[in-house]
């Protein structure tokens, strides 16, 4: 008796993890992808250091998925952070915990891990079909029969089950372009609009409502704002407050601290228009300390030197000039230091819009959980399952995003396996390395 066959569309982390689970269970697996090679977004994401997962306690880890926590919890049951680290070790790659609690491979890069993974998958029998762009279903009555545009022309393939792991719509040059959305909606699948997640924002200032001034943009774009406390209160649950860093862009701000709050900021802007965050420019000093330091400077020093003495120089000083003219800043320092000190501890920054989805690290929106069974199969398309970022969830960077993508692939594969095992006997399963 031939083993059950599964087609996976998408050779990213979720698709490859699903393939590994299925191969270990004795399934025949073919992975199709539009790009020339597998894991291209995975490779780019790990170019500066592959953040695999996070070492914080699992109880805290699970809370990072917001209002989708209950659903993502099931994924993490299939591949939690420790299981993921064990899986990486099984590929012959050691991991370490950074000072931030994030977990990295010893070599930091994604390429060695991906090479080892693909080598093992091919040894297990995986068949990869690259440069195959999915075109949908040629026959409405056969949801597990798919049509592709391939180098040799159009091609129709079929299997016992299909897993779609097509990603979101960020970084379209690497294959995640959201082109799958109309195919699913035409077949009655509920899909929430794709939106940028882990994204930057455009700003508006008092002196230049259209964004940064030309001087500030040219002088500071690409500059990192280090050790800043960001606060944001959208009236939905506890206010966001965290110390971290972000970078200035030509039109606004981006970076890990901004990404951590991006979902709440994005939704607040969508609901009510521009949103204001507050920056504590000097989180290590109190208002009283700042007043004392200013008082000791005396009026003989220039405004620039007085501000520099309390830690306001470079990009921080430039930020003040985006709100106040030179004369206004002089008056603040000499005549109203109390107000100045208070404002340095809660500097308002108006964010007008998220950057386009093509610039985002990841996306929110996608196939709604209500459109899926408890095994991740589409209600509208029997035999077709979904995994990864194309489902409607999001997570901050820091290991949470990648861990959940991989866990989703494992969970969906387990759903396929359980479905077939319930309907017919399989050959004895090999223990999954995950």
| 14, 76: one domain | yes
Angstrom distance (rounded) from CA 99 to CA 89? 20
pLDDT at 427 (0 to 100): 43
| 166, 262: one domain | no
pLDDT at 330 (0 to 100): 87
Number of DSSP helices (H) and strands (E) in the chain, helices first: 15, 19
Q: What is the mean pLDDT of residues 369-397?
A: 96
| 93, 67: one domain | yes
Burial, 111: exposed, middle or buried (Cβ in 10 Å; 0-12, 13-18, 19+)? middle
pLDDT 10s digits, 114-134: 999 999 999 999 999 999 999
Q: What is the mean pLDDT of residues 160-185?
A: 94
pLDDT 10s digits, 214-247: 999 999 999 999 999 999 999 888 899 999 999 9
- Give the structural domain span for 294: 201-354
Domain total of the chain: 2
- When pLDDT is cut at 50, 70 and 90, the band that residue 37 belongs to is very high
- When pLDDT is cut at 50, 70 and 90, the band that residue 428 belongs to is very low
| 99, 54: one domain | yes
pLDDT at 299 (0 to 100): 62
We report the CATH number of the domain holding residue 166 as: 3.50.50.60
| 145, 243: one domain | no
Residue 420 has pLDDT above 50, yes or no: yes
| Domain closes at, from 354, 380, 400 | 354
| 161, 39: one domain | yes
How far is the CA of 233 from the CAs of 67, 94, 241, 259, 353, in angstroms? 17, 40, 9, 15, 17
- When pLDDT is cut at 50, 70 and 90, the band that residue 210 belongs to is confident
Angstrom distance (rounded) from CA 289 to CA 310? 9
| 270, 148: one domain | no
Nearest to 93 by CA among 55, 119, 75: 119
Query: Residue 278 domain-assigned?
Result: yes
Residue 91 has pLDDT above 50, yes or no: yes
Query: Residue 67 domain-assigned?
Result: yes
pLDDT at 433 (0 to 100): 40
Q: What is the mean pLDDT of residues 52-59?
A: 96
| 171, 212: one domain | no
Query: Residue 434 domain-assigned?
Result: no
Residue 98 has pLDDT above 70, yes or no: yes
Query: Residue 89 domain-assigned?
Result: yes
Q: Find the radius of gyration of the CA atoms of the chain.
A: 25
Query: Residue 432 domain-assigned?
Result: no
Query: Residue 295 domain-assigned?
Result: yes
| Domain closes at, from 298, 324, 354 | 354
pLDDT 10s digits, 256-293: 999 999 999 999 999 999 999 999 999 999 999 998 88
pLDDT at 413 (0 to 100): 98
pLDDT at 426 (0 to 100): 41
pLDDT at 418 (0 to 100): 95
Neighbours of 93 (CB within 10 A): 17
Query: Residue 428 domain-assigned?
Result: no
Q: What is the mean pLDDT of residues 158-165?
A: 98
| 111, 49: one domain | yes
pLDDT at 333 (0 to 100): 86
| 171, 213: one domain | no
Portion of the chain with pLDDT greater than 90, in percent: 78
Q: What is the mean pLDDT of residues 374-383?
A: 97
| 171, 249: one domain | no
For all residues of the chain together, what is the average pLDDT? 92
Angstrom distance (rounded) from CA 363 to CA 391? 10
| 237, 137: one domain | no
Residue 297 has pLDDT above 90, yes or no: no
Angstrom distance (rounded) from CA 322 to CA 341? 17
Treating both helix axes as pointing N-terminal to C-terminal, what angle do 13-24 and 400-423 enclose, rounded to 10 degrees?
Answer: 30
pLDDT at 46 (0 to 100): 66
| Domain closes at, from 304, 337, 354 | 354
Neighbours of 183 (CB within 10 A): 18
- Spell out a b/e string for 233-269, using b for 16 or more CB atoms within 10 Å of the CB, else e: bbeeeeebeeebebbbbebbbbbbbbbbbbbbbbbbb
Query: Residue 429 domain-assigned?
Result: no
Residue 294 has pLDDT above 90, yes or no: no
Q: Is the pTM of this model over 0.85?
A: yes
């Amino acid at each position: 008796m031939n083993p059950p066959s599964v087609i996976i569309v998408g050779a990213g982390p979720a698709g490859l993890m699903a393939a590994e689970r299925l191969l270990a269970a004795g399934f025949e697996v073919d992975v199709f992808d539009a790009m020339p090679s597998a894991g291209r977004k995975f490779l780019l994401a790990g170019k500066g250091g592959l953040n695999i997962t996070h070492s914080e306690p699992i109880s805290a880890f699970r809370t990072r998925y917001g209002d989708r926590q209950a659903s993502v919890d099931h994924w993490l049951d299939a591949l939690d952070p420790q299981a993921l680290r064990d899986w990486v070790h099984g590929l012959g790659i050691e991991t370490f915990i950074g000072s931030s609690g994030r977990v990295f491979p010893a070599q930091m890069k994604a390429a060695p891990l991906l090479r080892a993974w693909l080598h093992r998958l091919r040894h297990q029998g995986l068949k990869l079909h690259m440069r195959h762009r999915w075109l949908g279903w040629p026959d409405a009555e056969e949801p597990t029969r798919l049509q592709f545009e391939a180098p040799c022309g159009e091609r129709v393939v079929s299997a016992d089950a299909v897993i779609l792991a097509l990603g979101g719509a960020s970084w379209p040059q690497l294959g995640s372009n959201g082109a799958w959305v109309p195919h699913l909606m035409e077949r009655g699948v509920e899909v929430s609009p794709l939106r940028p997640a882990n994204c930057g924002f455009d700003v508006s200032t008092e002196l230049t409502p259209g964004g940064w001034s030309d001087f500030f943009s040219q002088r500071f774009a690409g500059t990192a704002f280090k050790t800043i406390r960001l606060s944001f209160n959208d009236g939905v649950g506890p206010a966001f407050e965290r110390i971290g860093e972000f970078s200035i862009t030509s039109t606004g701000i981006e970076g890990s601290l901004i990404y951590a709050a991006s979902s709440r900021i994005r939704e607040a802007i969508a609901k009510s228009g521009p949103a204001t965050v507050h920056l504590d420019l000097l989180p290590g000093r109190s208002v009283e300390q700042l007043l004392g330091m200013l008082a000791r400077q005396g009026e003989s020093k220039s405004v620039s030197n007085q501000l520099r003495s309390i830690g306001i120089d470079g990009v921080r000083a430039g930020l003040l000039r985006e709100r106040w003219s030179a004369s206004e800043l002089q008056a603040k320092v000499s005549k109203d230091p109390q107000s100045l000190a208070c404002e340095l501890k809660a500097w308002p920054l108006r964010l007008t819009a998220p950057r386009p989805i093509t610039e985002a690290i990841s996306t929110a929106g996608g196939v709604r959980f209500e459109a899926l069974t408890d095994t991740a199969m589409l209600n509208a398309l029997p035999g077709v399952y979904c995994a990864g970022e194309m489902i409607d969830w999001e997570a901050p960077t820091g290991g949470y995003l990648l861990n959940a993508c991989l866990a989703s692939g494992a969970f969906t594969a387990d759903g396929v396996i359980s479905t077939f095992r319930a309907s017919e006997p399989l050959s004895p399963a090999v223990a999954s390395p995950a």
